[in-house]
Amino acid sequence: MHERYGGPEVLRVADLPIPTPGEHDVLVKVHAAAVNARDWHLLRGDPYLARLAAPELGLRGPKVAVRGTDFAGTVEAVGPGVTRFRPGDEVYGEANAAFADYVCAPESVMAAKPRNLAFARAAAIPLAANTALMGLRGIHSGQRVLINGASGGVGTFAVQIAKAYGADVTAVCSRRNVELVSGLGADRVIDYSTEDFSKSGQRYDVVFDLVGNRTLTELRRCLTRTGTLVLSGGGVSEGGSLFGPMGLMMRGKAVGPFLRQRVFLLEAKPSADNLATLTGLVEAGQLVPVLDRTYPLEQAADAIRYLEVEHARAKVVLVLVE
């Protein structure tokens, strides 16, 4: 937990009461919890503008002191209004304060864990894969899709989901990740250190930007006349910023209504239905979570530091129960 904004060094281990499930809540014994870029953004309260909008944040300090969103584990107890789960069920989903031995979440944001996955890999799915699914929803076979940031947590899922939908996928990543992304099914992989995808002259039906390091003009240049640009945050730690990737999204929102091209600002909301769709893709062998590293819960600060500073590939997961 943390009581003030800062880097991973402000995190500390603490004993807190086990939460009590409400009417429609499920109490889960956490076996694994994934680390996301969202964690360091919330840990630092960065960008500063987010402190005015995110419900977990306050101007001077966090309103939710325990980090973590994705979890996988076993049901410990259920509220009286819960109908889909009972104690002992293996589940996964999204909730605040997942970096803990127990997490309490509404029934509506979790699903049965994929039968063919261990808890650590299941925990890697919810936030990142749901973001990828919602960003690509509506694409169809034969469309050309470019994914900027293809080797990250969301990107590795986006490549696989786009291929499952029959799209022709061009992935953008660093040189060290070309082999990884190719192995996930990308039709072409662009090493951004040697080629600028915005100047290639290629046009795509969908550009899914997961990095936030390009201008709106550069991204739109890659689209067909009626293509869709999906903006999904991104950004890297710069020691504190006012707008961060929100600046690009704000510009997209401002000019979007006046363009023939569609600019879509992605807000991925937890959904049991979406998790069920993802479970189906996993159990059909079309979606495989990729893990970079695992850490014990006590090393959550090290895990966040690695994700934030070392530009981890795919997913980093905390394992609480082997």
CB 150 within 8 A of CB 158: yes
CA distance 139 to 141: 7
Q: What is the pLDDT of residues 212-225, one digit of tens each?
A: 889 999 999 999 99
The pair of structure tokens assigned to 177 is: 């990740």
Bin 244: left if φ > 0, else alpha if -120 < ψ < 50, else beta.
left
CB 218 within 8 A of CB 207: no
The pair of structure tokens assigned to 278 is: 């993802």
- Every domain range in the chain assigned CATH 3.90.180.10: 8-125+289-319
Tell me which amino acid residue 173 is. C
Give me the phi and psi of 205, to 5 degrees please.
Answer: -75, -35
Residue 125 has pLDDT above 80, yes or no: yes
Element (H, E) at 92: strand 90-94
Kindly state the DSSP code that residue 31 receives in the 8-state scheme. Answer: E
Q: How far is CA 81 from CA 23, 88, 108, 111, in A?
A: 5, 17, 12, 16
What burial class does residue 276 get, using C-beta atoms within 10 Å of its C-beta: 0-12 exposed, 13-18 middle, 19+ buried?
exposed
pLDDT the model gives residue 245: 62
Tell me which amino acid residue 313 is. R
Strand segments (E) across 134-290:
144-148, 168-173, 188-191, 204-209, 223-231, 262-265
Confidence band (pLDDT; 50, 70, 90) for 300?
very high
CATH number of this structure's domain 129-265: 3.40.50.720
CA distance 90 to 76: 10
Quickly name the fold that domain 8-125+289-319 has: Quinone Oxidoreductase; Chain A, domain 1 (3.90.180)
Position of tokens 């990884």? 180
Residue 322 has pLDDT above 90, yes or no: no
- Every domain range in the chain assigned CATH 3.40.50.720: 129-265
Mean pLDDT, the chain, integer = 92
Q: What is the pLDDT of residues 97-118, one digit of tens each?
A: 999 999 999 999 999 999 999 9
CB 76 within 8 A of CB 28: yes
